[in-house]
Structure 1
Amino acid sequence: MKRLIARIWHLMRGSVQWRVLWLAHAKFMVGVTGVVRDERGRVLLLRHRMWAAGRQWGLPTGYAVKGEELPRTVVREVKEETGLDVETGELVRLTSGYRLRVEVAYEARLVGGTLDIDPFEILEARWCEPDDLPEGVQESHLSLIRRPQS
């Protein structure tokens, strides 16, 4: 039976194989976070409107759109939420095991732009020293902010 399945698989080829794989496997959203730092080493924190009260402070985040490279998601999300331009760097976290999502985080460096927050998503933006953060920063973001720089 296994030989027959293998033979059929090899006969299908290319796009048909991909469609079968797509139908047979779980689908995930990909949440992407940027640890944005300026030239002084301060980190960009946002107070997110849609997050739970008391835990609204965190890093710029969003979801990748279909076909988007993950470092590009950081650039797009930061621009949409803050008006700032960033350049992505090192991949610093890849987490799976959630029911419907995978989470990715990249270091990012400020390269330009003018701070102009999107008031629909963001209540406030602030540059902070890693050891002087506001109350209510997401726990998962604290370790990203305070991780040793390479």
Structure 2
Amino acid sequence: MSRIAEVIVLAQDADEVMRPLTRPDRTRTWVGCFSEMRPGGDWGFGWGAEFEHMSWRSGLLKHLESLPWPRPETVQVLIHDEEDDCFGLWMIHGGRLREVPLPHTRRAWWSGPPQEGYAPDPGILSRTDCGPVDWPEEIEGGDRSRPPAW
């Protein structure tokens, strides 16, 4: 299913860790490559990628959390799905990448079980300070029974 998402990885001292992710690799569960971002010079600790289909990004967070980060406390993953109002933030806590709740936002999922044959739904991150969040139908606190989309 087509649903474009942008992903930015920020991490200090991570050039060696991220280098393999800047090249295609058919053994990965996710499809794509990151490009290094070096705004204004030779300093930089960011990489970005765009994913055109939900299935192309399956397993990305699990892959990123498995990498030998030299400074895991600096790893931040920003994800903006085309349906989201803003970027969501994931950070490593307890060895896992977990979404960090942002003020004035709420992630909601479509009601009902995941659709067979489709990549898991990442939900929609909505700003709650810009008006009512009236779609998708929500279960209070989000439907945490869903498999992670990333």
TM-score, scaled to structure 2:
0.24
User: Does 1 or 2 have the higher relative contact order (CA < 8 Å, sep 6+)?
Assistant: 1
Question: Which has more helix, going by share of residues?
Answer: 1
Higher strand share: 1
